[in-house]
Structure 1
Amino acid sequence: MWRSSSQTRIFSGGICVTRRGRRCHSTRQMGLGQAIPGAGGTLPTVKLCRFVLHAEPQTPRSGLYYEGRFYETDGEKAIGIHDTESAALLAPIILAPSVRVLETQPSGEGGVNWGYHFNNPTRMVGSNSEVELPEEMGALDVEARIALVISGRGQYVRPEEAHEFILGYAPTLFFRLPDEAESASAHGLPPSAANDVFWALGPVLTTPDELIENLGESLTDYSWQYRLRINGETLSEAETLQGPYGEALALASRFGPLMPGEVFAGPTLAHARGGGQSVRAGDTIELEVQKLGRLVVRLV
């Protein structure tokens, strides 16, 4: 395995991460237990986030959320402190260099085989977004997943080292055009166009040091308690163990380096598709994950 020796900023305004994928801020020392308005539920006190001020909505900012305030940073220190009433959350990263959507299949030895396909990074929206659908767009399928964001550059990453490259985790929703997928399949074409609509990430990034109680057998195994709701009605609610994500990072880094800001979306937690469950204009989709917050998307 090799790592880049340079520091990298992957947030506008700068959450600074070191070459070993560790932040310049120690969130563990700052404590836990504060609720974040607009993020849903009671979350650990410190979160990595991007936001805008209501008075300056055209200027994205980034930093930490801590004890009821947004601390705007330049990567190393706070350069502004803002109350929650004066700000609104954005998607927690600017633009991912790539988005890998992970899938698994059971192996004959009791384990799992990992694979992935790519999604369009430019189609990302944040929590509490209103997505305007074209008139010609029909029903959409939606998949609920957990995403991780890469913190540092590295290649030939071993599974047991992969946790050093994970900056944080967040709920994510992927939308798909079922009619387009069916048409592509009928013509022997890949379903890429069916996935090229939009996807959501947020509300904030939760760092691994805030998720110790969720760990499974390895440092990239996690237990997630989640709930997927459509228009306030619970479609799926469960607790599940996923991972080890380190296997997927090792696979991806065999052919080229992991890059800061890359997104890996874990296997599907739950979905809404077909049988009257597909979503359309007028629907509100919510994915709430314990300790990660609530991601909300409204279709208009």
Structure 2
Amino acid sequence: MKHARVVYNGSIHHAIEKKGNMQLNDGQIVKENEVIWLPPVGPRTVFTLGLNYVDHAKELDFNVPKEPLVFLKGPNTFTGHLSKTYRPSDVSFMHYECELAVVIGDTARNVRKEEAYDYVAGYTVANDYVMRDYLENYYRPNLRAKNRDACTPLGPWLVDAQDISDPMNLTLRTYVNGAVTQEGTTADMILGVPELIEYLTSFMTLSAGDIILTGTPKGSVDTKVGDEVVTEIEGIGRLVNTIIGEDTLTKTK
């Protein structure tokens, strides 16, 4: 089943997909274009993987890390489907990152990889924009590069784990203004979903609602103001986002 969080007539609703429309938790049936999309999960602790695809590490001229390169994202960074993300006026390279987002469904501590999927509630799509000008170096991903407001669209749907037969064999694609600019497969992750859950729970407790962004394959292209960026993962959904200028953001406050 596919789940969403939306705003309809000024109220926040949970919803499910219903024959091409949406059924709100109060029973109303509405069209997808009649709502404002929120991230399908209210983010708690969010872990982001850097350089978890060999081809992407090579694309950026980095060595493949010997252990996971993990950093955290604040809840302010997330926005929903059909939202807008602003490009800071002082950056020269801002690129998308199409990522499989894993949503934890139960308290997890010292989980073996063979049992890791038992702790997954479902999956969604993340577009984790990076302002590469702000990255200091390989060892310390800069806070400014990954934690700007509304720089990470998430959604549209949270797809139940049991509806994805093999999360480690999904095609990822990104389109900029309708043209394919990135294509890869989750099969090429350095550490897959089970290994990441095993690694993180070996030293800390994960809770229901925590999210793991699992990295992105090669295909980093600079995005400009006005670009429509679609990040798509097979079986999970198409997440649409538009780039706006910083001056536009200022005017709309």
What CA RMSD, in Å, does the superposition of the two structures yield over aligned residues?
A: 2.5
Find the counterpart in structure 2 of residue 67 from structure 1. 19
C-alpha distance in 2 between matches for 1:225 and 1:156 = 30
Find the counterpart in structure 2 of residue 196 from structure 1. 147
Higher percent of residues as helix: 2
Q: Using a 3 Å threshold, how does the CA distance of structure 1 residues 136 and 253 change in structure 2: closer, same or farther?
A: same
Deviations 1:112-150 (A, max 9, x none): 854422222321011110223444454312211111111
Say whether the 8 Å CA contact 2:98–2:172 is kept in structure 1.
no
Say whether the 8 Å CA contact 2:52–2:216 is kept in structure 1.
no
Say whether the 8 Å CA contact 1:47–1:66 is kept in structure 2.
no
Find the counterpart in structure 2 of residue 162 from structure 1. 116
- 2:4 maps to which of 26, 34, 49: 49
With normalisation by structure 1, the TM-score equals 0.68
C-alpha distance in 2 between matches for 1:105 and 1:224 = 14
Q: Using a 3 Å threshold, how does the CA distance of structure 1 residues 238 and 164 change in structure 2: closer, same or farther?
A: same
Q: Using a 3 Å threshold, how does the CA distance of structure 1 residues 68 and 278 change in structure 2: closer, same or farther?
A: closer
Say whether the 8 Å CA contact 1:144–1:270 is kept in structure 2.
no
Say whether the 8 Å CA contact 2:47–2:212 is kept in structure 1.
yes
**Larger-Rg structure:** 1
C-alpha distance in 1 between matches for 2:143 and 2:17 = 36
Note the C-alpha offset of 1:87.
3.2
Note the C-alpha offset of 1:62.
0.7
C-alpha distance in 2 between matches for 1:287 and 1:117 = 22
Find the counterpart in structure 2 of residue 121 from structure 1. 75
C-alpha distance in 1 between matches for 2:113 and 2:2 = 26
Note the C-alpha offset of 1:89.
2.9
Say whether the 8 Å CA contact 1:154–1:258 is kept in structure 2.
yes
What stretches of structure 2 of length at least 5 have no aligned partner? 55-65, 245-253
* Percent identity (aligned): 21
With normalisation by structure 2, the TM-score equals 0.79
1 or 2 for the larger relative contact order (CA 8 Å, sep ≥6)? 2
C-alpha distance in 1 between matches for 2:87 and 2:100 = 24
SS of structure 2 residue aligned to 1:161 = helix
Note the C-alpha offset of 1:199.
0.9
Find the counterpart in structure 2 of residue 261 from structure 1. 209
Amino acid paired to 1:196? N
Deviations 1:165-209 (A, max 9, x none): 11111111111112222xx349x9652322222211111011121
Q: Using a 3 Å threshold, how does the CA distance of structure 1 residues 211 and 284 change in structure 2: closer, same or farther?
A: same
C-alpha distance in 2 between matches for 1:237 and 1:189 = 27
Q: Using a 3 Å threshold, how does the CA distance of structure 1 residues 113 and 139 change in structure 2: closer, same or farther?
A: closer
Does residue 228 (structure 1) correspond to residue 174 (structure 2)? The answer is: yes
Note the C-alpha offset of 1:256.
2.1
Does residue 172 (structure 1) correspond to residue 130 (structure 2)? The answer is: no
SS of structure 2 residue aligned to 1:132 = strand
C-alpha distance in 2 between matches for 1:270 and 1:190 = 18
Say whether the 8 Å CA contact 1:180–1:193 is kept in structure 2.
yes
SS of structure 2 residue aligned to 1:256 = coil
SS of structure 1 residue aligned to 2:129 = strand
Find the counterpart in structure 1 of residue 249 from structure 2. none
Q: Using a 3 Å threshold, how does the CA distance of structure 1 residues 72 and 176 change in structure 2: closer, same or farther?
A: same
